[in-house]
Structure 1
Amino acid sequence: MEELKRRYLQEFLLLSSSTVSLKEYVKVIKERQTRLRNCYAETIEMNSEDFVKMILLQGAPNDRLFSKPWMEVDVRYDMILLENQLPFFILEDLYDVSNIRNKLHHKGLSLLKLTHEQNFSQVDHILDFLRICQRPSNLHTESKHKLRKQSAWHAPSATQLHQAGVKFELGSTKNKFDIQFKNGILKIPRSRVTKRKEYFLRNLQAFEQCHCYDNKYISDYIAFITMLVRTPKDVEVLAQSGVMQNRLQNNDTLSTIYNYLGTGNFVSRNRFHFSDVATLKQDYFNTPWAGISIITAAIRLLLTLIQTVYSIIQTYR
């Protein structure tokens, strides 16, 4: 990779204006060296020259790897690792100095161009940028979605809801945060679960848990889904309604992953994005209709058991 980084730097310089020299890029990084070092939790034991060299090699993008599909996947995993992030401001500064706005043709610089167009002025790094791209359009205020009771945290599982008469339907939007509960119907946008998505969620979750105070919407989403998915049976219930598509080995694997994601996933009682939906246990289970639904389910189970016993008796008479 070190050799590839040198090639990237050379091609980045070739894309730049002929009036921009390597010394100018070095100067930009040196002027921001203190701020760069302060972005990292641990003290970076490097002298100034080596540090500047490292940042310059890391910050020069290229599409040599991205032009090879079999390598692109592996590189994507590395790029979204929380511990691999490079402060975004230095990428923007190098981009501005390069004067290559009209020569953009590969993904790395196109991403920088997109941030300028969208005015993401508070982006910390690439992973933060990806989190912002996931941001719900209806972020709540604290007063609007404060949880009413602690019991609301313990929402029932998908199996329990199904047995109580709640119906699951596939949401009409692709926005995974657009989860709605109304008239006994829980609408959830389709969730395709793959190893790649698990990896993506883990790193977004780690970033929010470490660095975000307000609106932990990724962590809130994980919390809500892990309330629903506790066992392989819960996965089956959601899959039957089309809400969940499991691309992993089996339902046991998926339920294990969600349970693991839920471990240590701290969310705020005053800023829980799905509090309106999470209170469905409190709102729905306490209604007369919910009681009737539970009684009906119990009667069906009893009748099924009686029929099974009767069949066994008839067989061995």
Structure 2
Amino acid sequence: MKHSLVDDMWLLENQLPLFILKDLFALAKREVHSNLYEGISMSKLTCELWEAAGHNLLIGYDLLEEHFPKAEHFVDLIRLCLQPSEIGMQNGELKTLVAPTITELHQAGVKFKLGSSNHLFDIRFKNGTLEIPKLTVVDETQALIANLQDFEALNCEPTYVNDYVVIMNYLVNSPKDVEV
């Protein structure tokens, strides 16, 4: 049931402002057995639900906790967590690359390495090695990414999710690219 609930939580059309959910949670804490809620926060519940659902975007508890106070709603929370770290930024802007396909890079001698970063967008190229953080694609991944892109298109600048999708679209164009 948790998995199904979490999938619905991330749909753009189901978003409620987090300040409303926080207020309702605070009201519930006061009204119903407040001792049961001791040490529990809305952000902690969100993090535990995310982890219990087993999503594969490698967003750690610490990132969810860090960005929860700034998030407008759950989709915004995930978008904030997926933003690149300051390491991938230069003067407040992302370094832009025009990328050939994975197969073309491989043929040119580029090596590939599984990224160690917890930030999905920390794609790095250094000393002939392209480092890309792991993204495990499951049935729900496409819907989640599409919702993040829709939210970003309407509300956000810069558009990290869309940029990530564009880069991956350049890199992976064929079954051969996936194989490499």
Regarding TM over 0.5, the answer is yes
Determine whether 1:200 maps to 2:148.
no
Determine whether 1:231 maps to 2:174.
yes
Aligned to 1:98: 28
Greater CA radius of gyration, 1 or 2? 1
TM-score normalised to structure 2 length: 0.72
Output the CA distance in 2 between the equivalents of 1:112 and 1:188.
25
Q: Is the 8 A contact 1:92 1:112 kept in 2?
A: no
Q: What does residue range 9-20 of structure 1 map to in structure 2 within 5 Å?
A: none
Aligned to 1:87: 17
Q: Which runs of 5+ in 2 are unaligned?
A: 49-60
What's the % identity of the aligned pairs?
42
Aligned to 2:78: 130
Q: Which has the higher strand share?
A: 2
User: 2:70 is paired with a residue of what secondary structure?
Assistant: coil
Return closer, same or farther for 1:145/1:160 CA change in 2, 3 Å cut-off. Answer: same
Aligned to 1:140: 89
User: 1:193 is paired with a residue of what secondary structure?
Assistant: coil
Shift of 1:176: 2.1
Aligned to 2:156: 212
Determine whether 1:110 maps to 2:45.
yes
Q: What does residue range 44-83 of structure 1 map to in structure 2 within 5 Å?
A: 71-83=1-13
Return closer, same or farther for 1:203/1:164 CA change in 2, 3 Å cut-off. Answer: same
Q: Is the 8 A contact 2:85 2:122 kept in 1?
A: no
Q: Deviations over 1:217-251 (max 9, x none)?
A: 222221211110111110001xxxxxxxxxxxxxx
TM-score normalised to structure 1 length: 0.44
Output the CA distance in 2 between the equivalents of 1:230 and 1:223.
11
Q: What does residue range 245-284 of structure 1 map to in structure 2 within 5 Å?
A: none
- After superposition, the CA RMSD in angstroms is 3.2
